[in-house]
Chains A and B, each alone.
Chain A
Amino acid sequence: MLNESMIAVIIGVVFGFLNRLFMLRTDYRQYPTHRHGKMIHLSLGVIAAGLGAVAVPSLIDENYTAITFLGLAAQQFRDVRNMERQTLSKLDQFELVPRGLTYIEGIAMVFEGRNYLVIFAAFFTSLITLLANWRWGIVAGSLTFIVSKIYMSGKNMQDIADIVEGEVRVEGPHLYVDNIYIMNIGLEVNQEIIKKHGMGILIKPKTGNSLVTIANLGQRQAILHNLSIILGVYRDSGEPALVPLSKRDLENGNLGVFFLPQVKNIKKALEIVGLVPVLENAVRLPSESEVNEKG
């Protein structure tokens, strides 16, 4: 009953699933939501692990039809991305400070990508188990965690920009963060609220490439969203005067972030902005273009 291929499949599935478990983190974003959301992704993880692990024995048995099922699986996981995108976009309408489509697309992409990583981990583990023995299989399985870890980590804002406190100034109806014009506030009531609760952050890009990334509206929305999730937000629906905003200094590409937090703690705020992930879809590398390479 427990022949070689069966052992390979079991070890493959176990390591594939452990990989998914390892990559499924629910943090301050509370996404995937606890219990049910997690259950969905863990179940999909088991399926992905199963597919990857079974592929090897069937390949060795020269059962090529079974391999084509991997193609079917890819379609399945693309649907996962679609599902996440749709759910998140719908929910985003009810956020006081929305995530923005770029952030959502990034999250959806991660869900799809991680399932492929699980397939890869299960495939690799079961391959090594079959070719060598179960001991080497376990070693190979442990190695896949390192690969997953590498693919899991992306850059953060602090890697591409300097983040410092900016002074919030209200001059008449005009609102500035340092010397960056944010907006015109007509009501004195709101001007008072902003003087009391307003917080300003200045994001200075480190290179020409990061300048373009930081200018991306999706990236800017992600910064505002993360700030408001962690520090709370001093506003309600239908209060556009108190909406957090980010504006660029056109001269040097600095970004001025204006924000009304529930908890006014600039040290935490700077840290939060520093840890905002750089969205894959916002990254541009103008330095890689032929025009710029010629100097």
Chain B
Amino acid sequence: MSTLEKKILAVVTLNGEQVLSGGAPVFIAKTPAEMQRTAFLLEKIIDGIAHDLENDSIIIVRH
């Protein structure tokens, strides 16, 4: 099983302006609920873990 570990695999954000794309795809959400939903789906699909950065952004990482 090849996996990307210790890398940000995806970013979900409410504030597209504070995230610059640096390799990981960025998903822009309109509401906090949508952000949670997108992060939830990504977490399940990628088998990663969602971390809240407390600046309206969630990142998905695999440890």
Contact = CB atoms under 8 A, between A and B. Distances in A.
Interface of A: 172-173, 184-190, 237-241
Q: Which DSSP category, helix, strand, loop or mixed, fits chain A's interface?
A: loop
Q: Which DSSP category, helix, strand, loop or mixed, fits chain B's interface?
A: mixed
Which are the 3 A-B pairs with shortest beta-carbon distances? A186-B50, A173-B52, A238-B47
A241 B60 CA distance: 11
Contact of A186 (B44, B47, B58, B63): B58
A184 B48 contact: no
- B47, B48, B49, B59 — most chain A CB neighbours (10 Å): B49
Contacts of B47: 237-240
A187 B39 contact: yes
Given A240-B48, A240-B63, A241-B49, A187 B54 contact: no
A173 B54 contact: yes
Nearest to B49: A240
A99 B49 CA distance: 22
Contacts of A173: 51-52, 54
B54 A241 contact: no
A194 to B, nearest CB: 12
Contacts of A185: 49-52
Contacts of B44: 238
Nearest to A184: B51
A45 B43 CA distance: 50
Contacts of A237: 47
Contacts of B48: 240
Nearest to B50: A186
Interface string B30-63: 0000001001100110011111101000110011
Contacts of A188: 36
A241 B43 contact: yes
A240 B62 contact: yes
Nearest to B58: A186
Contacts of B51: 173, 184-186
A169 B36 CA distance: 21
Given A240-B47, A241-B43, A172 B36 contact: no
Given A186-B58, A189-B40, A241-B49, 16 more contacts: A172-B52, A172-B54, A173-B51, A173-B52, A184-B51, A185-B49, A185-B51, A186-B39, A186-B50, A186-B51, A187-B40, A187-B43, A187-B50, A187-B58, A239-B47, A240-B48
- A186, A190, A240 — most chain B CB neighbours (10 Å): A186
Contacts of B52: 172-173, 184-186
